[in-house]
Each structure stands twice: as C-alpha cells, then as structure tokens.
Amino acid sequence: MARTVTGTSRVTVLPLLHMWPDNYCVLAYTAAGELGETAIVGYVPVPGIPDVSLMDVAARHEPQRLYGSNSAGFADACWLICTGWSGRGVPKPDTLDLKSAAWKLDVDRTVPLAKTMYGYDQLHVGRLTLDDDQLMRQAQNVLAAGARA
C-alpha cells in the first residue's frame, strides 16, 4: 500500500516539458513538516496525459553532474526540488501559485538528502492531488492546449 502525505500549504503548479519535444506533465511543488523541512514534488494527474515518474525525468537530466552522487537518489531529488523552487521563484506565464491549498500526495519515493539543499532535509515525490475540485481543474489546466496534443 502506498504511503499518503497530506497538508495545507502554498502550492506552485507549473507545466513541465519532460520529454523533448512535446511530452508535458503538470508538476506541483510545496513543503511539509513542522518547519517545512520536507520538499513535496508531485505530478498532477491530468485526463489524457499518462502518469510520469518524476525520478526518471530527473535521472534523464544527469543531475549527478551538478550535485554529485552523495547517496542513492540525492542528485535526482535535488534536481526535482530545484525545478519546483525555480518555478516558484521565476514563474512562467502559465504557472499557478496557490497561497494556501489542501493537498494529498501518494508517495512513490522518499529521499533523505545527504545534506540540506534548498532548505530541505528530504523529498517526497509522487502523485499530487488538490482537495478542492475547482483548484484541481485549475491545476490540470496549466497545460496549454497545444502541449496536450
């Protein structure tokens, strides 16, 4: 049985080109934990768009060239956190920034970080859904019509 993590926090939702030239998914970035020490990066399920393994997406970018290979999954986790963190800091026009939203993450993997990165000590990655149906539709709609084709 998959582990589920829930929370209510700021959620940044952005389109992610994950396979060149035209395979997109929707990525959501937030944090959890008493002090916000756990990064949460998930894909938002979109009808007609296949589920994606974000850890596989990260691995294809060879992040160990930048972050090294301190522990299993460390570089991939850092790449995912950086993608979410950067998407919040320098948002693209289609980015959705929800100041406070209740969410649920079906965890595919948890990666304890070998050292604190971007203010986080670990990453939970998986499938993220928003509790509010209207916000969920908004999140799914961050993909432009052309990106869905």
Which runs of E-coded beta strand occur in the chain?
4-19, 23-32, 38-44, 96-117, 120-130
pLDDT by residue (tens digit) across 111-143?
999 899 999 999 999 999 999 999 999 999 998
Give the tokens for residue 42: 């998930």
pLDDT by residue (tens digit) across 70-79?
677 999 999 9
What does pTM read for this prediction? 0.92
